[in-house]
Chain A
Amino acid sequence: MLARSVNTMRDEQAELGVIGSRYRWLVAVVLVVMILLGIRFATLQMIDHDLYASRAEDNRIKLQALPPNRGLILDRHGQVLAENLPAYRLVIVPERTEVLTETLDELSALVEVSSSERERFERQRQRSRRFEAVTLKTNLDEEQVSRLAIHRHRLPGVEIEPYLTRHYPHGPELAHVIGYVGRIDQRDLQRLPVERYRGTTHVGKTGIEHQYESVLHGHPGLERVETNAQGRVLRVLERSAPEPGENLSLTIDLSLQQAAVEALGDHAGAVVLLDVASGDVLALVSQPGFDPNLFVHGIRSNTYNALLSDRHRPLFNRFLSGAYEPGSTIKPFLSLAGLETGAVTPNTQVFSGGHFQLPGHSRRYRDWRRGGHGWVDLEAALAESVNVYYYQLAVELGIDQIARELALFGFGRATGLDLPGESDGVLPTRSWKRAVFNEPWFPGETVITGIGQGFVVVTPLQLAHATAALAGRGRTAAPTLVGNTEPVQMVAHGAAHWDAVFDGMAAVVHGDSGTARAIADMLPTQIAGKTGTAQVFGRPNDDQERALLDEDALPEQLRNHALFMGFAPLHEPRIALSVVVEHGGGGASVAAPVAAQVMARALELGY
């Protein structure tokens, strides 16, 4: 016991020495670690300070776009054609929900969420930042809003958010003019300037909404906000207000537009009414229309397919892209060409015996009246729409001269109306046929050009514009929906030539044998006009057979298109119009009354 204690005593000195040397090691370790930590903080806080300072600012401050309110679209008297209405949408902050899929299922049961809405939500969610609200469903109705409000307390992360949505109060009546806005898609994203479209969900897709997008859209405002890590805005540091889009006043007169829609009734077709002097488009109808409001919130695919497969093609813009044979509405322009070139004078008499034959050819080109019209001068030829007169005139002029003269009135090229998607129509020439079909021009094709058949096709807008040029004795402005075009002298003719053609066109309506004499009673004043009938493909081509057809007995889709062009008043005309009624049968019986109704209303309104 004692030995051990002595032993311990002796050992202790040595042992304490060992421990002492180990202490020096520990002190060294402590000092080295402390210095290393000091160096680490010096690096973070001094050398890399700028980097981390800016990252802290990025954390703290977010830029929030304040989308501008879209400009309204008004008619020429200030009637609202496109407006912004308050609406509600359902948004979800995915990070705040308990289980996202369960929340989505529950919401689907409450407000009916379509699979495409859910897909879009998923796509958007993947692009969004932490704690950013993602839209699930837009344009909730009142019932849905109240149902959601009741259940919201047990659906964390689900919010009902107010916003402004585009609305077209007149729906189908102006669908082809105004067009519509739709959700910004992948293609739009590539095209649109990112800065200007921050926070914006919709963009003009067609029509005026597309054409004047840059005017209507406005400029977004910006908010610099301080947010916490959950993305909640704590305070606004800086704010620049959005600059709303400009309101756009169209030249359209809503009441005339509605009159034109009403006049067309159930028929498919187009009506274009222009102001002769200014080129202002007063009414612009393509029937049937569609409800543009359907496209604003993302149209359902079955609704869209129904529109696409509709036999009457409601999505097709007839006044802008419809290509129709002008039929006899080409005759006033040919008349002018004949007068100008000296091929005819107003008094030239032509005998119509019921048909026309090219020398050395057996094919007979018929008059519409069996047995013909006898001897006719220019006025009678226009009034009664004598085909033989124009067969002969066309042959005398030749196709290239016809093309040259008609081109002066704007045929064969787009009018430049401020809407996207306008067609050029076709004004054929020899070289055109060679280029397109690689075939020579046949004389018979010139003959039928005389009555507006064959290769020549026009859009209703072109026809109206040419009619305005005619009404203005060669002087009119390019058609415009915002009133920004200047009148130009498109064609120059002697007064006598204009008078002769005007007399003939007046006789169409007011003459005893005029093809449209039936509408004279509907009009408050004298007008000039011309009927026309355009062939529809799929009809018997043989003249004999065709002559035996009873137009009214044909199934609707095989009936001819009915056309009318005209201007009013006869003296010092102010308005010009064109009407196409698809499968309407004869121009005189179907298109002319539509035109008369629209013109009467326009004159009544003081145009």
Chain B
Amino acid sequence: MAVTTSRIMPWTPAWRLDGLLMILLIVLMSLGLFVLYSAGEQEIGLVWRQAVRLAMGLMVLIVVAHLPPRLLQIWAPWLFVLALILLAATLVFGVGRGAQRWLDLGIVRFQPSEAMKLALPIMLATFLARRPLPPRWADSLLALILIAVPVLLIVTQPDLGTAVLVAASGLILLFLAGLRWRLIGLMALGLTAALPLLWVNLHAYQQNRVLTFLNPERDPLGQGWNIIQSKIAVGSGGLTGKGWQASSQSHLEFLPEPHTDFIFSVLAEEFGFIGVIGVLVLYAAVILRSLYMASRCRDSFGRLLAGSLAMMFFLYAAVNIAMVSGLLPVVGVPLPLVSYGGTSAVTLLAGFGLIMGLYSRRRFMDRL
């Protein structure tokens, strides 16, 4: 029946895609390709490769949107365990410069931490939705352990940025589930107390990043260089920007990684404050639309999972934008759907697929 409906009206819920969110996402990605052309030294090949990846990501989105939520709940433990095994394998067989983040599967290089970004929320949502909500103390503790295991594995790689994001997505899910404020307060206290312990366990380069973030001029030609040059790029853009392909900071190679982590600086330099506000509004629209959809899902599982995925996208965007403007240390988080690079875009689009799929199964009453 779903098949027949979709044949007649492709944008009906049976098609399981959300028209508004799709349009917002496509606008955002197109804008990203546009900026990428300028930031990637006007190399059209680079833009094409990224466009192909995004197209693949959209296909993944459509496939994922059609997965029945029941199936997800059944698969959840297996997906989670598989992701954990892959993460552990990364520690042993992994490849990568400085940190072991990749698994070389011969044809493709695969980043298991990306899989965990989806596997953990699915697992948590499944687990919590079966228990009474708000979660009891014991359930909360179990959920925290479920979060801690993959996060610790990712930290060991080491990939602090991803670990923080994965942890945050899990915690947000717990928060949505109604985690008691008392417990939240306790956790905040515990985290504050653990900070010094965390600090001494950080790698030297991670400590340096944080110190340099607190005072970039401490090492203006080394660690501080990225932050300083990025702020110069952003600030020199002014209200209206220098114009497309006119960013001196990126074209003269002062800005590091202009087509990946610092692509937002290029955007800010070339399109100015007006461009920045435009993109911020676009991101806000995507996130708010996703949150709205998530809150309308049929059951707790859907609301928990979709909400945490929407918030993960928000975290990506906010962390990256805060980083390039010097509000956060350089943590190597790309700008979602805009930065050059395939893995995270595919994960994020799969996340939107889940959101749309879950939303499409909302109660009939809610559809009116």
Bound pair (A, B):
yes
* Residues in A lying within 8 Å of B, measured CB to CB: 11-12, 14-16, 18-20, 22-23, 25-27, 30-31, 33-34, 37-38, 40-42, 44-46, 48-49, 51-53, 55-56, 59-60, 130, 226-230, 234
Q: A11-B133, A18-B178 are in contact. Are A26 and B291 (CB under 8 A)?
A: yes
Chain B neighbourhood of A42, CB < 8 A: 273
- Whether B3 is near chain A, meaning CB under 8 Å from some CB there, is no
State which residues 276-314 of B face A: CB under 8 Å: 276-277, 280, 283-284, 287-288, 291, 294-295, 299-300, 303-304, 307, 311, 314
B234/A30 in contact, CB under 8 A: no
A226/B273 in contact, CB under 8 A: no
B133/A45 in contact, CB under 8 A: no
B253/A44 in contact, CB under 8 A: no
* Residues in B lying within 8 Å of A, measured CB to CB: 132-134, 172, 175-178, 221, 229, 231-239, 248-249, 252-254, 268, 272-273, 276-277, 280, 283-284, 287-288, 291, 294-295, 299-300, 303-304, 307, 311, 314, 318, 321-322, 325-327
Between-chain CB contacts (< 8 Å), 28 pairs: A11-B132, A11-B133, A14-B133, A15-B178, A16-B299, A19-B133, A19-B177, A19-B178, A22-B307, A23-B295, A26-B311, A27-B291, A30-B287, A30-B288, A30-B311, A37-B321, A38-B276, A38-B277, A41-B268, A41-B325, A44-B235, A45-B234, A48-B235, A52-B234, A53-B238, A56-B233, A60-B248, A234-B252
How many whole Å from B290's CB to the nearest CB in chain A? 10
Chain A neighbourhood of B236, CB < 8 A: 49, 52-53, 55-56
How many whole Å from B263's CB to the nearest CB in chain A? 15
B232/A46 in contact, CB under 8 A: no
B252/A60 in contact, CB under 8 A: yes
How many whole Å from B256's CB to the nearest CB in chain A? 9
Chain B neighbourhood of A56, CB < 8 A: 232-233, 235-236, 248-249
Q: Is chain B's binding surface mostly helix, strand, loop or mixed? A: helix
Bound-state Cα–Cα, A25 to B172, Å: 11
Q: Is chain A's binding surface mostly helix, strand, loop or mixed? A: helix
Chain A neighbourhood of B233, CB < 8 A: 56
Bound-state Cα–Cα, A34 to B300, Å: 27
How many whole Å from B234's CB to the nearest CB in chain A? 5
B294/A34 in contact, CB under 8 A: no
A59/B252 in contact, CB under 8 A: yes
A37/B322 in contact, CB under 8 A: yes
A229/B253 in contact, CB under 8 A: yes
A34/B284 in contact, CB under 8 A: yes
Q: A16-B300, A26-B176, A227-B252 are in contact. Are A46 and B239 (CB under 8 A)?
A: yes
How many whole Å from B233's CB to the nearest CB in chain A? 7
How many whole Å from A208's CB to the nearest CB in chain B? 44
How many whole Å from A258's CB to the nearest CB in chain B? 57
A30/B314 in contact, CB under 8 A: yes
Chain A neighbourhood of B237, CB < 8 A: 45, 49
Bound-state Cα–Cα, A15 to B253, Å: 53
Bound-state Cα–Cα, A130 to B272, Å: 29
* Chain A residue at minimum C-beta to C-beta distance from B303: A19
Q: A27-B288, A30-B284 are in contact. Are A230 and B234 (CB under 8 A)?
A: no
A15/B133 in contact, CB under 8 A: yes
B284/A31 in contact, CB under 8 A: yes
How many whole Å from B245's CB to the nearest CB in chain A? 15
